[in-house]
């Protein structure tokens, strides 16, 4: 290994220790066939296990249910995928580049009685199809998260992404929690809302143009009223659920609804007025 590689490895180990990674004996992290060591080099990162309380917090933040399919990217000793199956009843899969770790994880799944719900595969996370997942979990470096981000954003709206410690650049998490100095972060894949929409606030109203600009889950809304053009920036998408507000003639209207391809629909509320329906079609 060259000096640059050694510097990177030791820098990452120092960071992991600063985040609270505690020494764990080999017997706790392996079996008689293979005992991984904290800090051992991997393909893209060194291996530092996620504490069990952080594992459970990540899965809870992702609103895991028995109907979910969890894919853990860089699954290490398999603890996240196994917890998803054993504690929450979900199907899960771990993707790991180290074949010894894969074998260890499959043995552990068998030992814990969840081999029918979880499997581990020897593969490169950047070459893996994880489009069927409803939850993605990971403990990777920030640059790897950014490299994965375009592929993650192509997942079905509503898919949840849970990360231990590291962010997605300017894509802000929908939820963050801190446990003993460690971060758990969660994102929900947003549906596409960007474009010019023909908005109808009730069945008889005239259509008006609604221009939406989107930056990840955040929306900037421009509404053409009868008398002026009004812009607001408090819109948001969470999965296929959309919400935004516009003010027309001094009246603030709060919209909530659902995006379904080229249409949106939902309810609109305004102070002193009954709740009405709204629809919008992408032009």
Locate the domains of the chain by residue range.
49-188, 195-282
Q: What is the DSSP letter of 51?
A: P
- From the number of C-beta atoms within 10 Å of its C-beta (0-12, 13-18, 19+), residue 59 rates as buried
Span 123-152, mean pLDDT?
Answer: 97
Share of the chain above pLDDT 90, in %: 70
Fold of 195-282: Lipocalin (2.40.128)
Q: What is the dihedral of CA 43, 45, 47, 50, to 10 degrees?
A: -130
The answer to whether the 49-188 and 195-282 domains have the same CATH topology is no
Question: What is the reported pLDDT for 4?
Answer: 38
How many CB atoms within 10 Å of residue 26? 12
CATH of domain 49-188: 3.40.50.150
pLDDT at position 266, please?
97
> Which of residues 31 and 140 earns the better pLDDT score?
140
At 36-82, the pLDDT tens digits run 988 888 888 889 999 999 999 999 999 999 999 999 999 999 999 99
CA–CA distances in Å: residue 151 to residues 112, 155, 213, 273, 276? 32, 7, 21, 43, 38
Residue 140's pLDDT is what?
96
CB-count burial class (<10 Å; 0-12, 13-18, 19+) for 231: exposed
Q: What is the pLDDT of residues 32-47, one digit of tens each?
A: 889 898 888 888 888 9
Give 153-181 pLDDT, tens digit per residue.
Answer: 999 999 999 999 999 999 999 999 999 99
């Amino acid at each position: 290994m060259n000096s640059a590689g050694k510097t990177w490895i030791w820098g990452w180990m120092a960071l992991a220790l600063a985040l609270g990674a505690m020494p764990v004996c080999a017997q706790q992290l392996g079996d008689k066939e293979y005992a991984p060591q904290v800090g051992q080099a991997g393909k893209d990162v060194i291996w530092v296990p996620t504490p069990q309380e952080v594992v459970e917090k990540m899965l809870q933040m992702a609103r895991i249910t028995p109907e979910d399919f969890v894919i853990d990217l860089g699954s290490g000793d398999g603890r996240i995928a196994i917890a998803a199956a054993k504690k929450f009843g979900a199907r899960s899969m771990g993707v790991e580049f180290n074949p010894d770790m894969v074998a260890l994880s499959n043995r552990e799944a068998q030992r814990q009685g969840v081999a029918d719900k979880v499997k581990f595969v020897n593969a490169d996370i950047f070459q893996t199809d994880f489009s069927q997942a409803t939850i993605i979990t990971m403990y990777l470096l920030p640059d790897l998260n950014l490299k994965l981000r375009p592929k993650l954003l192509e997942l079905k709206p509503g898919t949840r992404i849970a990360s231990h410690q590291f962010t997605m650049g300017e894509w802000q998490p929908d939820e963050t929690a801190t446990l003993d100095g460690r971060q758990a972060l969660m994102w929900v894949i947003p549906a596409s809302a960007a474009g010019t929409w023909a908005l109808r606030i009730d069945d008889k109203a005239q259509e008006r143009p609604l221009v939406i600009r989107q930056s990840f889950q955040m929306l900037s809304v421009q509404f053409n009223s009868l008398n002026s053009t009004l812009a607001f920036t408090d819109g948001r998408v969470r999965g296929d659920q959309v919400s935004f507000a516009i003010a027309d003639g001094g009246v603030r209207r709060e919209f909530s609804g659902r995006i379904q391809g080229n249409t949106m629909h939902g309810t609109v509320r305004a102070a002193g007025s009954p709740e009405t329906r709204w629809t919008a079609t992408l032009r």
